[in-house]
Amino acid sequence: MTQRLTILLFSALALTGCRKDTLEEEPQAPIDPGTPSGTGVRFEPAQVPYPVLSTYRFFTGGLKDQTPNSGVLPYEPITALFSDYAHKFRFVWMPAGAKASYAGDHDVLDFPESSVLIKTFYYDNVLPDQDRRIIETRLLFKRSGSWYFADYVWNEDQTEAYLDMNGSITPVTFVDDGGTQRTVQYRIPSAAECQTCHKIQFDPIPIGPKPQNLNSNYSYADGVKNQLEKWVEMGYLQPGYPSNIMTTVKWDDATQPLDLRVRSYLDMNCAHCHADQRHCNYRPMRFAFNESDDLVNLGVCVEPDDPVAPQYTQIVARGNPNRSMMHYRLSETDETVRMPLLGRTVVHEEGLELVREWIESLPGTCP
């Protein structure tokens, strides 16, 4: 009951905080006034979010094909957030002449006004026809110095997506990349749920586009290139960022050291809440990649604040996953104990196995 009241309180705060400013802002000049027959991206700060996704003209051709329009740049973090085995397309768009700037290896890029981050969630091999099904497209856009959420839910015909900030559940049965049939109750987040993860105190923020996550090669339509270099080439990033960026690794790349894989996985899946001024700042763990070289920040031999059961003696018990609270929470789907709290309804089996392998590799025992 207490948790439900907390969620309702967050909902009230988020809905109040996200929508009041929209009503009170003075009109701004459109970035691209466009016309119904225009071809360029359309983004009018005083009028967004639009009721339907197609109005922005982020994509050319069939909307479901997700072919980016001119100036809409695809990107991909080195390690991705787990979202019930959904695949994702990610894009960034900025108005002409606007550039992001480097703020730190582990900090989100400093984006200019009217920047838009676009993320589409989809499944392949959806039964019964084993076709692709797009579930939602999320936008984060910057206006008057603040970030705003807009979530678009796709119709059954896959021809359009409609603004909906109320949250909902979509059942999906599909065959995953390994050939296993799975069924998920995919959760499309509400405004309050978006706010829970994407915030510093009460201010909405992006999570993924940091130099540490983008310092890797990507296969663009015109060839393979480092993503940060491509952003500079596109005019989306100020040149002059450091050449020796501390970079995450791909969590499932077995050629990389086990500890770096785990730290990268926890950074993307957990650090946005387990950080100062974030949702779980009261917990002792700090999972950001630049902080997790300290094993104490990962919870190694740290007693849990609220032990769920006596057998979980440490957040991470050296060599013993079965006594580790981290392993237990990652293995649960009960929303009262699972971690992450939001963004998944099923266990990420491969991620859990990675964490288990890492815990078993830690030498010694906890006192």
The pLDDT tens digits for 273-329 are 756 555 455 466 667 888 888 898 899 999 888 777 888 899 899 999 999 999 999
Tell how far CA 41 is from the center of its chain: 23
In a domain, 241, yes or no: no
pLDDT score, position 215: 98
pLDDT (tens digit per residue) in 76-102 = 999 999 999 999 999 999 999 999 999
In a domain, 358, yes or no: yes
pLDDT score, position 204: 82
User: Cα–Cα distance between 232 and 145 in angstroms, integer?
Assistant: 22
In a domain, 240, yes or no: no
pLDDT < 50: residue spans in the chain: 1-31, 33-35, 279, 282
Q: Where does a domain end: 234, 263, 286?
A: 234
pLDDT score, position 274: 58
pLDDT score, position 284: 62
pLDDT score, position 340: 72
pLDDT score, position 34: 44
Both 255 and 201 in one domain: the answer is: no
Both 46 and 176 in one domain: the answer is: yes
In a domain, 239, yes or no: no
Both 180 and 33 in one domain: the answer is: yes
pTM score, whole prediction: 0.86
The helix (H) or strand (E) run that includes residue 352 is: helix 349-361
Q: How does DSSP assign 248-278, residue by residue? A: ---TT-TTS-HHHHHHHHHHHHHTTTSSTTS
Both 217 and 311 in one domain: the answer is: no
Both 216 and 273 in one domain: the answer is: no
Both 331 and 221 in one domain: the answer is: no
Q: Where does a domain end: 207, 234, 261?
A: 234
140 is written with which tokens? 């984060």
User: Cα–Cα distance between 275 and 343 in angstroms, integer?
Assistant: 18
Both 227 and 297 in one domain: the answer is: no
Q: Where does a domain end: 234, 259, 283?
A: 234
> Could you tell me which residues come within 8 angstroms of residue 3 by beta carbon, excluding any fewer than 6 positions away?
335, 336
Both 81 and 138 in one domain: the answer is: yes
Q: Which domain holds residue 341?
A: 248-367
pLDDT score, position 131: 96
Tell how far CA 185 is from the center of its chain: 18
Percent of the chain with pLDDT over 70: 83
Number of domains in the chain: 2
Both 72 and 190 in one domain: the answer is: yes
Q: What φ, ψ does residue 181 adopt, rounded to 5°?
A: -80, 130
> Could you tell me which residues come within 8 angstroms of residue 175 by beta carbon, excluding any fewer than 6 positions away?
125, 127, 130, 181, 182
Both 138 and 218 in one domain: the answer is: yes
pLDDT score, position 3: 39
CB burial of residue 160 (10 Å; 0-12, 13-18, 19+) = middle
N- to C-terminal Cα distance for the chain? 36
